[in-house]
Amino acid sequence: MTHAPLQNDRFLRALAREPVDRTPIWMMRQAGRYLPEYRASRETAGSFMDLCRNAELACEVTLQPLERYPLDAAILFSDILTVPDAMGLGLYFETGEGPKFHKTVRTEQDVAALPVPKAETDLDYVMRAVSTIRGALNGRVPLIGFSGSPWTLATYMVEGGSSKDFRHLKAMIYSQPEVAHALLEKLALAVTDYLNAQIRHGAQAVQIFDTWGGTLSAEAYREFSLAYMQRIVNGLIRDHEGRKVPVILFTKNGGLWLEAMADTGCDALGLDWTVNIGDARRRVGERVALQGNMDPAVLYAEPAAIRAEVKRILDDFGNHPGHIFNLGHGITPHVDPEHARVFIEAVVELGAKKNGP
């Protein structure tokens, strides 16, 4: 399938650390509950997963923030837990409690019984969404595909849902590391296949969300999280449609390990707000672009405070190539959409020429 030429490649150029006219911006969870139009679409769909499984509605909500704001990228509307769901664990959502699984994975036998899903068939609804969104964008901005990291997916699979202490999986990595490795190995294979399928269907960059890697010790992070993200990076399609396909690694609370993350051969690191972006740039040098990293809670503040924080982050990064502005994590549901507008327009205005030659 031939696609329309890209009209705005600012995001991809910044990922390649090339000069751009202004700092590009997108937001994690930019298609989400803070937007009234998203809430209306979700109601039409009937449930969150029904929204994910309907390509036309997934496309509709992906495009909603682009209609409101001057964003430089779209991100596939889906969920990180589609992969474990396709492994037969029975994903469901309880209001106010987040995602849960009907089955957990806690023994060697549980891991052995897990199939490695084939993205083209077992997650075909995601691929339909990617193709539909890419077509509807018609070259307006690039489309980002994504997946959860093996470690992050494993936390939900072993704990059975969200967790504060990850006690079952952490017990496993210390008591039965071979079982944890077998699980993570299957997940790395599944995620590599899943991201490559997204790229074949039209994703022009991909991000790996390692939401819970930052809960690990330094040694355990390298062994049980980073090593498997490294395998995925090694196995990804890196050129497609005559263009490089960049990969972004994002470990929340991963500021201790930026150098090791940059060593994976990824193109960019996502930063949360606990790291100073200028310090991060000095640490990783010219090797990778950096994405981030305003605290999403700043969006609850007054417009002047939002603008001041945008300026501080831009000033901290300095006049260098390779910055994609983003929040340090996803935008939260209670943010006023007009505050998001102030944030994005501040980046557009103040980020002009910041990524210069």
Known binding residue 285? Answer is no
Question: Which residue of the set 42, 140, 222, 287 is catalytic?
Answer: 42
Question: Which residue of the set 68, 79, 125, 140 is catalytic?
Answer: 79
Known binding residue 181? Answer is no
Question: Which residue of the set 10, 29, 53, 231 is catalytic?
Answer: 29
**Residue 253 is which amino acid?**
N
Which two three-digit tokens encode residue 280? 């991060």
Omega of the bond leading into 293 within 30 degrees of 0 (cis) = yes
Known binding residue 22? Answer is no
Which alpha helices (DSSP H) does the chain contain, by range?
10-15, 36-45, 48-53, 55-68, 82-84, 108-113, 119-122, 124-137, 150-159, 167-175, 177-201, 218-220, 227-235, 258-262, 277-284, 303-317, 337-350
In whole angstroms, give the CA distance from residue 68 to residue 63: 9
33 as an active site residue: the answer is yes
Known binding residue 204? Answer is no
Question: Which residue of the set 33, 128, 222, 312 is catalytic?
Answer: 33
Question: Which residue of the set 34, 38, 69, 156 is catalytic?
Answer: 156
281 as an active site residue: the answer is no
Known binding residue 125? Answer is no
In whole angstroms, give the CA distance from residue 339 to residue 303: 7
Angle at 273 between CA 312 and CA 291, to 5 degrees: 80
Own/partner long-range contacts of 261-270 (Cβ < 8 Å, ≥24 apart) = 261/226, 261/229, 262/287, 262/288, 264/226, 264/229, 264/230, 264/233, 265/230, 265/233, 265/234, 266/233, 267/15, 267/16, 268/15, 268/322, 268/324, 270/207, 270/326
Which two three-digit tokens encode residue 345? 């327009």
Known binding residue 31? Answer is yes
42 as an active site residue: the answer is yes
282 as an active site residue: the answer is no
Q: Which residues are catalytic?
A: 29, 33, 42, 79, 156
Which residues carry a binding-site annotation? 29-33, 79, 156, 211, 329
Which residues carry a binding-site annotation for substrate? 29-33, 79, 156, 211, 329
